[in-house]
């Protein structure tokens, strides 16, 4: 039995695989080592993952996750604590996205979910990669930044009157609670991104569409524009790319960029490609 995980900042998808087939899947909250402490990661793994995993004889774990470009050692340490005899590989979420999207080894890959990350591949080799600095320093195009902009406008009474009424009816949240969740509680990024579905539900409103479009325009100018978009298509992984695909496509076309595939959740592609590699190597 092997286990493959796609870990975002908001949620983590696990697939338990036997002979190339998924025999069980599960989801749990995201365990991004960049935004939550190691102790919390250990608690989540023990509470949610261990009861399922303990039913199987696991030989290998592949974990591709947000924050693992810098904090992968934390994830590996936690998993090794519970599975000391299991071979464990931890990679960044963008490495997992590339494995899921670029079967031929070439293309530009961009994660658009709670956070943003991107890189360029040519013949299976990463030739350029931009850091994912998080929503304070960047991450335009992410659910976190979109949600943060919406919340900021709510605080400053900048929402159109009818949207303000809709917002207060859909979310039972006060300004003191927003401040507390932003500055005093962990995982503020997940808190901000939890408001992004409001933009999706009301995307026909000019205000909501403008927030999404602004984020994608900044993504194209500040990030994607640094890659070889003249020769390579841009592939996307993540819920934000899938939900707002029509606006994303408009912006890419305006910037002369070619859209490749959009994969909302890459776990099936990861399972297929990893098991193919194992079969080839064996």
DSSP string for residues in 2-51: EEEEEE-SSEEEEEEEETTEEEEEEEEE---TTTS-HHHHHHHIIIIIHH
Residue 210 has pLDDT above 80, yes or no: yes
Q: Compare 190 and 153 and report the one with higher pLDDT.
A: 153
> In the predicted model, what is the mean pLDDT of residues 212-224?
96
Q: Does residue 38 lie within any of the structural domains?
A: yes
Lowest mean pLDDT among 79-88, 128-137, 196-205: 128-137
Q: Does residue 8 lie within any of the structural domains?
A: yes
Residue 171 has pLDDT above 80, yes or no: yes
> In the predicted model, what is the mean pLDDT of residues 199-219?
96
Residues 6+ apart with CB under 8 A from 6: 12, 13, 64, 65, 93, 96, 265, 266, 267, 270
pLDDT at 196: 95
pLDDT at 179: 94
* Percent of the chain at pLDDT exceeding 70: 98
pTM of the model as a whole: 0.78
Query: What is the torsional sign of CA 38, 39, 42, 48?
Result: negative
Residue 43 has pLDDT above 90, yes or no: yes
pLDDT at 276: 75
pLDDT at 61: 93
pLDDT at 242: 92
Classify residue 127 by its DSSP letter. E
Q: Does residue 86 lie within any of the structural domains?
A: yes
pLDDT at 177: 92
> In the predicted model, what is the mean pLDDT of residues 214-238?
94
Contact call for residues 142 and 116 (beta carbons, < 8 A): yes
Residue 249 has pLDDT above 90, yes or no: yes
Edge to edge, what strands does the sheet with 234-237 contain? 125-130, 116-122, 107-112, 234-237, 259-263
At 228, the pLDDT band (50, 70, 90 cuts) reads very high
Q: Does residue 156 lie within any of the structural domains?
A: no
Residue 141 has pLDDT above 70, yes or no: yes
> In the predicted model, what is the mean pLDDT of residues 16-37?
86
> In the predicted model, what is the mean pLDDT of residues 196-209?
96
Contact call for residues 279 and 110 (beta carbons, < 8 A): no
How many domains does the chain contain in total? 1
Q: What CATH number is attached to the domain comprising 73?
A: 3.30.420.40
Query: Each residue of 262-275: pLDDT tens digit?
Result: 988 788 878 887 88
pLDDT at 204: 95
Residue 8 has pLDDT above 90, yes or no: no
At 10, the pLDDT band (50, 70, 90 cuts) reads confident
Structure tokens, 20: 């190339």
Query: Each residue of 54-103: pLDDT tens digit?
Result: 999 999 999 988 887 767 889 999 999 999 999 999 988 888 888 888 77
Residue 278 has pLDDT above 80, yes or no: no
Domain span including residue 45: 2-97+266-281
Residue 147 has pLDDT above 80, yes or no: yes
Contact call for residues 193 and 114 (beta carbons, < 8 A): yes
pLDDT at 280: 67
Contact call for residues 147 and 193 (beta carbons, < 8 A): yes
């Amino acid at each position: 039995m092997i286990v493959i995980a796609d870990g975002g900042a908001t949620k983590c998808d696990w697939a338990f695989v036997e002979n190339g087939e998924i025999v069980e899947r599960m989801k749990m909250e995201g365990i991004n080592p960049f935004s939550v402490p190691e102790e919390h990661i250990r608690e989540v793994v023990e509470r949610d993952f261990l009861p399922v995993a303990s039913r199987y004889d696991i030989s290998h774990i592949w974990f591709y996750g947000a924050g693992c470009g810098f904090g992968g050692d934390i994830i590996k340490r936690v998993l090794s604590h519970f599975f000391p005899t299991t071979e464990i590989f931890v990679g960044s979420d963008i490495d997992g996205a590339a494995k899921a999207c670029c079967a031929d080894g070439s293309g530009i890959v961009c994660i658009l979910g709670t956070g943003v990350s991107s890189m360029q591949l040519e013949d299976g080799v990463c030739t350029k990669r931009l850091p994912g600095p998080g929503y304070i320093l960047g991450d335009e195009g992410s659910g976190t930044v979109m949600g943060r902009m919406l919340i900021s406008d709510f605080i400053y009474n900048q929402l159109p009157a009818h949207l303000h009424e809709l917002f207060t009816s859909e979310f039972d949240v006060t300004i003191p609670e927003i401040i507390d969740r932003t500055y005093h509680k962990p995982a503020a990024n997940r808190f901000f991104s939890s408001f992004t579905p409001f933009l999706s539900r009301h995307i026909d409103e000019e205000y909501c569409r403008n927030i999404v479009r602004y984020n994608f325009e900044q993504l194209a100018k500040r990030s994607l524009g640094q890659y070889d978009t003249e020769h390579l298509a841009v592939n996307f992984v993540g819920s934000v790319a899938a939900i707002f695909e029509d606006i994303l496509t408009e912006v890419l076309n305006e910037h002369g960029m070619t859209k490749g595939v959009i994969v909302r959740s890459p776990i099936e592609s990861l399972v297929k490609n990893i098991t193919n590699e194992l079969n080839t190597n064996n």
